[in-house]
């Protein structure tokens, strides 16, 4: 049920019984009983794809961030390189539509030229590497993360990527919804190619090329259900073995450009995909790859360029794909870019203005209680053996808890942010972030790191770090207030905390031990009983209808469903 703030005094907020639809019997459909009237009174706003307490609080937080940024905009004599200067100029560069329109495609020029110079597979692969550093999309992606089987070490991971649509199914399925999206995507490709100066015939031809490459990539991609399985996505191999698996690629020079010079091992997340991609590099002509890269460069940069490109991009990804009717106002779009690129610089300003130490004290007490309750629940399970219970409780108490904001803020030192270069600001931010991530390879694992900014209304559980993290922005009404009655806090943020703890024991989280290593700590019999119970849940969710002809994918959503129920 949604909680509501009735007055300025947070003490007074609580359940609003006016949201209830008394015509629905709670024992038939509790969701519509509890929320029915609220849902009727609150249609989804035209600028959103969905609506509810999470999104409402996100919107509210954006307004607070806007107040902060507006204050910063008025500041005089800001030191170049200070958080305030970077936030102000990034934001202003996004708002300056006149300048962005005047610049047109000019900001992309050096990148388009680089693509234009590709003449063979080696120069194609080195361009993949350069684009990867700015967050661009080649057929595979690279990240540096903990080694799942040695959680004290970072290692390079290579994973499948390269699709313009969110999943391989859109290319391969022929149901009405996949066909609708695919047809609209083809039109979108043509429109984007036309916007970068191709003739109608050239644009149509380029569309065919992109669809052919992306469909081929879709066919060799791992399914989204399998991608969730940590065991199916872990193949640690040496660099010479990688060269044998994905032939014809000069991996040493690729790693050198990317900033991973001299590495000896990598984790390949989808071996079959990478092998097949290396074959595609030989089969598909270099000229076709160039068109493919051109599309990914322009598509990935559209929201930082002219109004025409941004609108066309929204028409497909916003409206066709997500059902959003209207583009968000300029301030929300620019703010989202600042959040994405300078997250912790803005986050520090947010925390200073809106997050106090008293909130942290109260939340720590609540979390302690939840751990005690969770321990009692583990002890009471009728299907888990005493030996596994002991290990589960050990893991539970090894779980690190993070609240509000990180102890050390990310440094943006050296980053150049200009008031008149929106795209360039994004590129330089990506390069800085890429370099930061690559430096992990030379360092021990940083267990204090955060993967969400403090101004994010969300929470997460990391299997590798074995921690649960609650950013400042979720620690506010309707989820939490330091002044609220206990019942409200346990019903609000308590639910979120229980959800995140449970992730550590869900179908994937339970494969990791308290140190974050992929390790079987269950007895065989307990694991079999767990899997049997999980299967019941998969089948249950497979029955739920979401829309016409569309049911929940029980296997894909298993982790979330286990976490929502807080236990098996
Ligand atoms: Zn979750």
| pLDDT tens string 345-382 | 999 999 999 998 788 888 999 999 999 999 999 999 99
pLDDT confidence of residue 567? 65
| CA 558–ligand 1 middle distance (angstroms) | 10
C-alpha of residue 405 to centroid of ligand 1, in Å: 20
Dihedral (CA of 544, 378, 457, 454) sign: negative
Alpha carbon 108 to its chain's center: 25
Question: Residue 525 Cα, ligand 1 centroid: separation in angstroms?
Answer: 27
Ligand 1 centre to CA of 496 (Å) is: 9
Find the 315 Cα to ligand 1 centroid distance in Å.
30
CA of 342 to the centre of ligand 1 (A): 25
* Beta-sheet pairing, 460-462 with 400-404: unpaired
User: Would you call the peptide bond into 478 cis, given omega within 30 degrees of 0 as the criterion?
Assistant: yes
Residue 7 binned pLDDT confidence (cut-offs 50, 70, 90): very low
Residue 302 Cα, ligand 1 centroid: separation in angstroms? 31
Percent of the chain exceeding pLDDT 90 equals 92
pLDDT over 80 (residue 81): yes
Specify the pTM. 0.94
231: tokens are 């065991």
Q: Are strands 235-238 and 460-462 parallel, antiparallel or unpaired?
A: unpaired
**Residue 333: exposure state from Cβ atoms within 10 A (0-12, 13-18, ≥19):** middle
Q: Report the mean per-residue pLDDT for the chain.
A: 95
**Which stretch of 133-137, 182-186, 416-420 has the lowest confidence by average pLDDT?**
133-137
Does residue 487 or residue 218 have the better pLDDT? Answer: 218
Stretch 188-196: mean pLDDT, rounded? 98
User: Ligand 1 centroid to 148 CA: how many Å?
Assistant: 20
Distance (Å, rounded) from C-alpha 253 to C-alpha 242?
A: 13
E strands of 395-478, at which residues?
400-404, 460-462, 467-471
Question: What local confidence, expressed as pLDDT, does residue 323 receive?
Answer: 94
For residue 6, pLDDT beyond 80:
no
User: Measured in angstroms, how far is the CA atom of residue 556 from the centroid of ligand 1?
Assistant: 12
pLDDT computed for residue 136 by the predictor: 81
**Does 16 have pLDDT greater than 90?**
no
**By the 8 A CB rule, do 260 and 252 touch?**
no
Task: Place 66 in a pLDDT band, splitting at 50, 70 and 90.
Answer: very high
371 alpha carbon to ligand 1 midpoint, in Å?
17
pLDDT digits (tens, 9 = 90+) for 21-44: 999 999 999 999 999 999 999 999
The upper half-sphere exposure of residue 110, i.e. CA atoms within 13 Å in the direction of its Cβ, equals: 7
pLDDT at residue 2 is higher than 50: no
Is there a contact between 338 and 90 (Cβ–Cβ < 8 Å)? yes
Closest residue by Cα to residue 458 from 446, 472, 445:
472
User: Ligand 1 center to residue 77 CA distance, Å?
Assistant: 44
Relative to beta strand 235-238, strand 545-547 is: unpaired
| d(CA 21, ligand 1 centre) in Å | 28
Ordered strands of the 460-462 beta sheet: 400-404, 467-471, 460-462
Q: What angle do CA 538, 542, 547 make, to 5 degrees?
A: 145
Q: Is the pLDDT of residue 132 over 50?
A: yes
Q: Give CA–CA dist 339/91, Å, rounded.
A: 10
Above 70 in pLDDT, residue 464?
yes
Q: Is 160 helix (H, G, I), strand (E, B) or coil?
A: strand
- Please state the rounded mean pLDDT for residues 434-446: 97
- What CA–CA distance (Å, rounded) separates 281 from 268? 18
C-beta separation of 366 from 494 below 8 A:
yes
Cα-to-centroid distance, 446 and ligand 1 (Å)? 23
* pLDDT band, very low/low/confident/very high, at 283 (cuts 50, 70, 90): very high
Is pLDDT at 304 greater than 80 in this prediction?
yes
Cα 84 to the center of its chain, rounded Å: 26
């Amino acid at each position: 049920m949604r909680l509501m703030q009735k007055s300025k005094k947070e003490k007074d907020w609580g359940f609003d019984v006016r949201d209830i639809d008394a015509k629905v019997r709670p024992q038939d459909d509790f969701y519509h009983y509890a929320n029915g009237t609220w849902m009727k009174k609150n249609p989804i706003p035209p600028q959103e794809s969905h609506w509810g307490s999470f999104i409402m609080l996100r919107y509210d937080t954006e307004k607070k961030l806007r107040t902060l940024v507006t204050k910063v905009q008025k500041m005089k004599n800001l030191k170049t390189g200070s958080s305030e200067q970077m936030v102000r100029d990034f934001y202003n560069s996004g708002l300056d539509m006149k300048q962005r329109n005047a610049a047109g495609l000019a900001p992309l020029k050096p990148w388009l030229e680089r693509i234009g110079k590709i003449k063979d597979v080696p120069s194609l692969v080195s361009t993949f590497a350069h684009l990867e550093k700015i967050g661009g999309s080649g057929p595979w992606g690279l990240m540096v993360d903990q080694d799942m089987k040695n959680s004290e070490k970072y290692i390079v991971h290579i994973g499948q990527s390269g699709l313009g649509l969110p999943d391989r199914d859109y290319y391969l399925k022929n149901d009405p919804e996949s066909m609708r999206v695919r047809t609209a995507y083809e039109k979108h490709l043509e429109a984007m190619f036309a916007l970068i100066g191709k003739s109608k015939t050239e644009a149509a031809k380029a569309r065919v090329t992109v669809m052919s490459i992306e469909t081929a990539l879709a066919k060799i991609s791992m399914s989204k259900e399998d991608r969730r399985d940590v065991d199916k996505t872990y193949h640690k191999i040496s660099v010479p073995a990688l060269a044998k698996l994905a032939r014809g690629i000069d991996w040493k020079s690729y790693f050198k450009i990317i900033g991973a010079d001299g590495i000896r091992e990598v984790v390949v997340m989808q071996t079959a995909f990478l092998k097949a991609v290396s074959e595609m590099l030989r089969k598909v002509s270099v000229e076709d790859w160039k068109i493919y890269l051109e599309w990914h460069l322009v598509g990935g940069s559209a929201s930082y360029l002219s109004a025409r490109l941004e609108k066309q991009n929204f028409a497909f990804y916003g409206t066709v794909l997500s059902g959003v009717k209207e583009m968000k106002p300029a301030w929300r779009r620019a703010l989202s870019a600042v959040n994405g690129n300078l997250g912790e610089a803005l986050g520090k300003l947010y925390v200073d203005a809106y997050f106090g130490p008293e909130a942290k004290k109260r939340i720590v007490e609540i979390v302690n209680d939840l751990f005690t309750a969770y321990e009692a629940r583990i002890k009471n399970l009728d299907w888990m053996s005493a030996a596994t219970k002991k290990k589960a409780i050990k893991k539970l108490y090894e779980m690190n808890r993070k609240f509000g904001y990180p102890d050390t803020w990310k440094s943006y030192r050296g980053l150049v942010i200009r008031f008149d270069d929106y795209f360039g600001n994004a590129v330089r931010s990506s390069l800085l972030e890429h370099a930061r991530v690559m430096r992990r390879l030379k360092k021990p694992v940083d267990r204090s790191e955060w993967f969400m900014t403090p101004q994010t209304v969300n929470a997460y559980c990391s299997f590798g770090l074995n921690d649960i993290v609650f950013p400042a922005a979720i620690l506010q009404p309707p989820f939490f207030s330091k002044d609220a009655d206990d019942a409200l806090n346990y019903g609000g943020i308590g639910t979120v905390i229980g959800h995140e703890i449970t992730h550590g024991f869900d179908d994937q989280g339970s494969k990791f031990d308290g140190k974050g290593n992929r390790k079987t700590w269950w007895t065989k019999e307990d694991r079999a009983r767990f899997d049997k119970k999980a299967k019941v849940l998969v089948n249950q969710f497979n029955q739920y209808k979401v829309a016409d002809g569309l049911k929940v994918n029980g296997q894909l959503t298993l982790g979330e469903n286990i976490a929502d129920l807080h236990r098996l």
